[in-house]
Amino acid sequence: MVRTIPPERETVTGVKSQLQPVSGTTTKTASTVATDATLPNVAIDKRELEALRMLAQELHFGRAADRLRISPSKLSRTIQSLERRVGATLFARTSRRVTVTPIGQRLLDEMGPVCMEMQRVLQRAIEAGRKVEGELTIGFEAAPAGRFILAVAERFRALNPRVDVHIRQLSARDGADWRSEHFDLVLLSHPITDPAFRTGPVLITEARMLAVPARHPLAARSAATHEDLATIDLFRPPGTQVEHRVPEHTPTGRPITYAPEAHSHEEILTRVGAGQGALVVGEHATRYFPRPDVVYLPLNDAPPLEHRLAWRPGHETALIRAFATAAAHSKS
């Protein structure tokens, strides 16, 4: 099999510079090898290691270079660079033949177990990354999101019995910092602009509604628009980005004002019912939070709320990818 040497500089460290020319050994070299007794360690990157092993197998620069898919001159420079850092000749070259020196053979022999162990460690990491097993903690904001995630988690666990999925609703405090590493994934209804996060497709779509006091003049209407938002103070949804829910001004430029801060969704609806302001919510509120003192009006000129999963690409595993895929196949 032809192996292409990748560009990454994966290094093997800890090879001591104690390798010295063997007493009584003479070699003919294509160039003089310089020594540097001040080097405490020699680091060999992956390309140099492959070059060393391939040349030892072929004992011919042209054939070894062909197998490595590089030029013979580049292979020669790689070996010379390694020899300078080791401080000894690794291959004896003449016009007719290439042979491994005793020091070169010693290096190959001692590097062998190290390389094999590196391969085993890498393989174990690859296998761990591909396994669909372990634990997931998933955060969600609104009731329909929680219901959706619970349904997906149930089906996912049935197919992957070695997976534990923990579902947790974002509180007002958590919502303000939904980026917490406590969560493997979060299902959010606001746009994600943070470049540190990746988002999946839209999983839930719902209309926006305006919750108003039952005694407010707007309550007699069948629907509301963004212009109506200038006629009543608005509460900010706790722990979320308000900009995606409500702009700062109406389409005609009238300012939108906000009511004093509240600390939970239930507190806001209580204050809405008491006539202290209004709240922009998703359509699910009409089913999950019906109240005699609150009327929900469709916000006709507002785009729908879109719920998506978000996660950190740097923490992504096969388990996270598998759950995100399962959620996308179950989207409502």
Instruction: Walk along the chain (332 residues) and give the pLDDT tens digit of each residue.
Output: 333 334 444 444 444 434 444 444 444 444 444 444 444 455 677 788 888 889 999 999 999 999 999 999 999 999 999 889 888 999 999 988 999 999 989 988 888 787 777 777 766 666 565 566 789 999 888 788 889 999 999 999 988 888 999 998 886 554 446 777 788 999 988 788 888 899 999 999 999 999 999 999 999 999 999 999 999 999 987 765 555 567 788 999 999 999 988 888 889 999 999 999 999 999 999 999 999 999 999 999 999 999 999 999 888 888 999 999 999 988 75
Q: Given this model, what pLDDT does residue 172 score?
A: 57
Residue type, 27: T
Q: Given this model, what pLDDT does residue 181 score?
A: 78
Provide the 10 A C-beta neighbour count for residue 32. 7
Q: Given this model, what pLDDT does residue 216 score?
A: 96
Within 13 Å of residue 222, how many CA atoms lie on the same side as its CB? 0
State how far Cα 125 lies from the chain centre.
16
Q: Which residues, 6+ apart, have CB-to-CB distance to 126 below 8 Å?
A: none
Tokens of 157: 């666990």
Residues in the chain, overall count: 332
Pairing of the two strands 198-206 and 305-311: antiparallel
Give phi and psi for 286, each to the nearest 5: -65, -25
Helix residue ranges per DSSP H, the chain: 46-58, 61-68, 72-86, 102-130, 143-159, 172-176, 265-273, 285-288, 318-329
Q: Which CA distances in Å does 22 have to 26, 30, 109, 150, 316?
A: 9, 19, 16, 69, 50
Q: Given this model, what pLDDT does residue 143 score?
A: 82
DSSP 115-166: HHHHHHHHHHHHHHHH---EEEEEEE-SHHHHHHHHHHHHHHHHH-TTEEEE
Within 13 Å of residue 55, how many CA atoms lie on the same side as its CB? 33
